Structure 1
Amino acid sequence: MSIAENLKAIKKEIPENITLVAVSKTKPVSDIMEAYNIGQRVFGENKVQEMTEKWEEMPKDIQWHMIGHLQRNKVKYMAAFVALIHGVDSLKLLKEIDKQGKKNNRAIPCLLQVHIAEEDTKFGFDAHELKELIDNPEFKKLDNVSIEGLMGMATFTDNQDQIRREFKNLNGLFQDLKNSLPHLSVLSMGMSGDYTIAIEEGSTMVRIGSSIFGKRNYN
């Protein structure tokens, strides 16, 4: 199946109120344009340099989401245009995003990444750290950051009960957090292998790459 056919099939499965982020990392502009030409406007990249190059080359009505682990020294390169940063996992990173947001006269939308997986390879806050962050006076001073919600990745496993439990836990944290930050609206969870479970457990945004674009090429 072509990229356009894959995308159409997935869009049929996803409710209209769920945002589909087409994960285009490592994919050429020609592939992304195939998705763009049938109406996809939200794309996810995990390397700032690659995202910036694509932003320069491609139509300006695309929303670029930074979905990878972000280093502080790279924030400045995308601060002017990034639509959403998914993987914010420290106050230090938030302060840098705030600083670059100020320089660009905008509040940069961000998601706080929560560590829900039973593996050590994933980044993110745990429930206790999340509460500490929200209560931190320095966090409350960040005027050029807009916290939109939470993001998390489930364990890479075939055990669907475990995946469901992890997503359920993240949604629970999300609902609790709305007591302190009632404007939160985005719960980004679910990828190619588990997005149907994520949607059942309350996801509002899914990140799908290989099911749209095929296997990644890391050459």
Structure 2
Amino acid sequence: MQVRNNLQRIQEQMKQSCEKANREMKDLTVIAVTKYVDLDRMKEAFEAGLEHIGESKVQDAKGKWEALNGQGIWHFIGHLQTNKVKDMIDKFAYIHSLDRISLAKEIEKRASVLGKIVDCFVQVNISGEDTKHGLSPNEVEKFILELKSYPHVRAIGLMTMAPYEQEPEKTRPIFRQLKELQLNLQRNKFDHAPLTELSMGMSNDFHIAIEEGATFVRLGSSLVGE
């Protein structure tokens, strides 16, 4: 029952954030970040009504995916090494960490064989931290243009990670900048890159991210535990 209770509490917070931002709950997707929990906790998440699962290590995810017979909708949320794409491409519906052309090439190569279009978020390092992966904001437009050469890679949105803050309100400028970047890029009306989604916000700051336009939030400790 722990996950179900956590989800009910989180949904109430989400509702409050939506009301503040004049948004609707139906426009939000919760990803249960299960990279640190076992199969029993993952099953509990499914029983609570969650569908979307977030994993960040290919080898760990592969074993879990097989044990669960592919149940759920899987999101790759960590830094993805090019040589690992072949092992995950058939299991994950979404990749949240597209940040270089070499990775796009490999996704294209593997997805084309499967006849699959992979929905990807372009990772943007808004905060500029050396410890975080992602493109700088001024590199994103050129990168999106280059993705036109890879028809099995669909850039559905942008992703960022804000620094951890004791006061979550301090993360607001990071999320606001990603939203502004999205709006600027959408003016180009890229056929190959709709950029309608924003993956941002984690356990500590998801309510702020929702107020600033997040459509996917990635929740680990507050939802499924450590």
- Per-residue CA deviation, residues 48-68 of structure 1 (Å, 9 max, x unaligned), is 111111111115340010000
Alignment length, in residue pairs?
213
State the TM-score, normalized to the length of structure 1.
Answer: 0.92
Confirm or deny that 1:144 pairs with 2:152: yes
Residues 51, 64 of structure 1: 8 Å contact kept:
no
Confirm or deny that 1:128 pairs with 2:146: no
Which residue number corresponds to residue 44 of structure 2?
Answer: 34
Which residue number corresponds to residue 67 of structure 2?
Answer: 57
Confirm or deny that 1:100 pairs with 2:75: no
State the TM-score, normalized to the length of structure 2.
Answer: 0.89
Structure 2 distance, partners of 1:79, 1:97, is 7
Confirm or deny that 1:73 pairs with 2:83: yes
Structure 2 distance, partners of 1:60, 1:156, is 32
Q: Compute the RMSD of aligned alpha carbons.
A: 1.6
Confirm or deny that 1:10 pairs with 2:10: yes
Report the AA paired with residue 8 of structure 2.
Answer: K
Structure 1 stretches of 4+ moved >3 Å: 159-162
- Per-residue CA deviation, residues 123-161 of structure 1 (Å, 9 max, x unaligned), is 10112211221233xx21101111110000111223545
- Per-residue CA deviation, residues 179-212 of structure 1 (Å, 9 max, x unaligned), is 2236222100000000000000011110000001
CA spacing shift, 1:37–1:59, aligned 2, 3 Å: farther
Segment drifting more, 61-70 vs 50-59:
50-59
Confirm or deny that 1:157 pairs with 2:185: no
CA spacing shift, 1:2–1:163, aligned 2, 3 Å: same
Report the AA paired with residue 126 of structure 1.
Answer: S
**What are structure 2's unaligned runs of at least 5 residues?**
15-24
Structure 2 distance, partners of 1:3, 1:188, is 22
**What are structure 1's unaligned runs of at least 5 residues?**
none
Secondary structure of the 2:222 match is helix
Confirm or deny that 1:198 pairs with 2:209: yes
| Identical pairs, percent | 39
Report the AA paired with residue 53 of structure 1.
Answer: G
